[in-house]
Amino acid sequence: MVRTRFAPSPTGFMHVGNLRTALYEYLVAKSAGGRFVLRIEDTDRGRLVEGAVDVIYRTLSLAGLCHDEGPDIGGPFGPYVQSERMNLYLPYAESLVRSGHAYYCFCTKERLDSLHDGESTQDSPGYDRHCRDLPADEVRDKLASGMPYVIRQKMPLTGQTTFEDLVFGIITVPNKELEDQILIKADGFPTYNFANIIDDHLMEITHVVRGSEYLSSTPKYNLLYEAFNWEIPRYVHLPLIQGRNEDGTVSKLSKRHGSTGFDDLIAEGFLPEAIINYIALLGWCPKEDTRELFSLSELTGAFSIDGISKAPATFDYDKLEWFNAEYIHRMSREEFIVQAVPYFSGLSCVDESTHDLLTEILQPRITRFCQIPEKLSYLNGLEDFDPELFEHKKSKSSVDSARLLLGQAAESLRSITDWDADSVINALTKVSERNDVKKSAVMWAVRIAVTGMAVTPGGAVEALLLLGRDRSIERMEHSRQRISQ
RNA sequence: GGCCCUAUGGUCAAGCGGUUAAGACACCGCCCUCUCAAGGCGGAAUCAGGAGUUCGAUUCUCCUUAGGGUCACCA
């Protein structure tokens, strides 16, 4: 049974990188009929954020990544919140001390800080292993006197550690590069590095899926598994998601690259399905064909670990936008209206009777729902526009022709009894025939006159239908007068 | 800087010794057309460089270069 876990720390913010990790964890498990568990890693009490866990629940649920075990729904391996497992870690660390794989360290914060200043980190990285070989009785005394301490992992000084990653292959690191990392902090909490492997083992996680930034610390974890004589899980490291910097370079995706939080993207009008679909394809590609549109369950069916690429991928908002548009275009009329209605509220001339027409003109034209108000802003009032808008070569329209045609068009429209597409087209076509001009010249003049916008969703006819007869004619007269001096 | 990883068009990428080097986004052009979209058709654009292995390298090996990651009492 494949078991994966998503182990976010509750920061109150769900980064798309985290979300993609969750997605792949879900897919690795579900594509193999396994279980996907949620574990909250809140061992950093300094970074606790109110309500942050709810953000995680909400995001997973919106994204459709339903977990099989977790703090909210329980499961056979609980509790699923690390702070509630507090008393469980220290004994493991102490057993490591006894077996010679870890040691107490009494170094002060100040001493550690001064270490970082002395740039010459010749052989060993980070910590200088100052307390590694303290005499046993000295350790006993310090402990007895209540001196604050941390527990550090005792890394081998020679040799090398090798592990296999399912996407990156075999990786070997010299042991002397490994820092004697802290396992238990002075506040008694375990570090992520320690809690992580204890919990993964206890929760019987079979596949550890995470970003490739953890690649270089994986040997340290393996040394821990070995010290405990525990089975080492399979590793699936994911290529990083990068963002494009202003100067054209790329780096690990972060806030300065724009909206990188799931909530931000939602607020900007991206659909959860589109976001999931896009990030699934950032670093993964289906084997069978060139399809790109996948629902979550289709992804589950198509997913395989060997489709994951090693090279980092750059987040591309254009492509996300395209996915979003695809999802919008494929909606049923009913779905579209449900999503669009909230954006109709600030618009005049819109009621249920216009929903079908609005869907028709909007659905192929928006890539995000929040674009609706600006696209239809003319409904709320005719702005003073540049008369030059009447000039349009391709439509054979000009200020002069508009001046001539608008009066007649208004006149013709005024006599319509049933204000519908057919009669409007009919009336305007007659105007063009009577004056022996292209239909587009009339249409252009009318559309500009009633909307004041160079570009509108739908054409003159749709604008007229939305505005209604009275308002349309009123606007046409108004616009005609503006160009009649 | 040490260590680790990566390298096919601007971006996501297929390819896993022999291909006219797929496809998608973006871009450009044409068609359709009452504007703009949508849709259809077409175009430009990629194997970082150098050695080797091989009958033959985008594909395997090494070096160089470039980029990224990591070096916390954060996760």
Q: DSSP 3-state assignment of A327? A: helix
Nucleotide nearest residue A311, measured CA to C1': B6
> Strand A160-165's sheet: what is its strand order?
A169-174, A160-165, A234-238, A207-211
Amino acid at A201: H
Q: Give whole-number Cα distances, A259 to A14, A16, A245, A262, A476, in Å.
A: 11, 9, 13, 8, 42
Distance between CA atoms of residues A104 and A133, nearest Å: 9
Q: Is the peptide bond before A79 cis (omega within 30 degrees of 0)?
A: yes
Nucleotide nearest residue A325, measured CA to C1': B38
User: pTM score, two decimals?
Assistant: 0.94
Nucleotide nearest residue A125, measured CA to C1': B71
pLDDT digits (tens, 9 = 90+) for A162-197: 999 999 999 999 999 999 999 999 999 999 999 999
pLDDT digits (tens, 9 = 90+) for A103-137: 999 998 888 887 776 554 455 668 888 899 999 99
Q: Which of residues 156-215 of A touch strand B (CB under 7 A)?
A: 168-169, 171-174, 177, 179, 182, 185-187, 189, 191-193, 212-215
pLDDT digits (tens, 9 = 90+) for A423-447: 999 999 999 999 999 999 999 999 9
Whether CB of A99 is under 7 Å from strand B: the answer is no
**What's the pLDDT at A120?**
46
Residues 6+ apart with CB under 8 A from A373: A343, A346, A347
| Phi, psi of A268, deg, nearest 5 | -85, 0
Nucleotide nearest residue A10, measured CA to C1': B75
Give, in degrees to the nearest 5, the angle at Cα A345 between A341 and A349. Answer: 100
* Nearest-CA residue relative to C1' of B23: A290
Q: Distance in angstroms, CA of A319 to C1' of B44?
A: 20
Q: Distance in angstroms, CA of A17 to C1' of B46?
A: 27
Can you list the residues of chain A whose pLDDT is less than 50? 120-121
**What's the pLDDT at A118?**
57
Q: Distance in angstroms, CA of A367 to C1' of B14?
A: 28
Amino acid at A45: R
Q: Protein footprint on strand B: which nucleotides are under 7 Å from a CB? A: 1-8, 10-16, 22-26, 33-39, 67-75
If you count them, how many residues does chain A have?
Answer: 485
Residues 6+ apart with CB under 8 A from A57: A72
**What's the pLDDT at A117?**
66
Distance between CA atoms of residues A354 and A466, nearest Å: 7
3-state helix, strand, coil in chain A (%, to 5): 50, 15, 40
A312, two tokens? 């980092």
**What's the pLDDT at A123?**
57
Whether CB of A318 is under 7 Å from strand B: the answer is yes
Catalytic center residues of A: 255
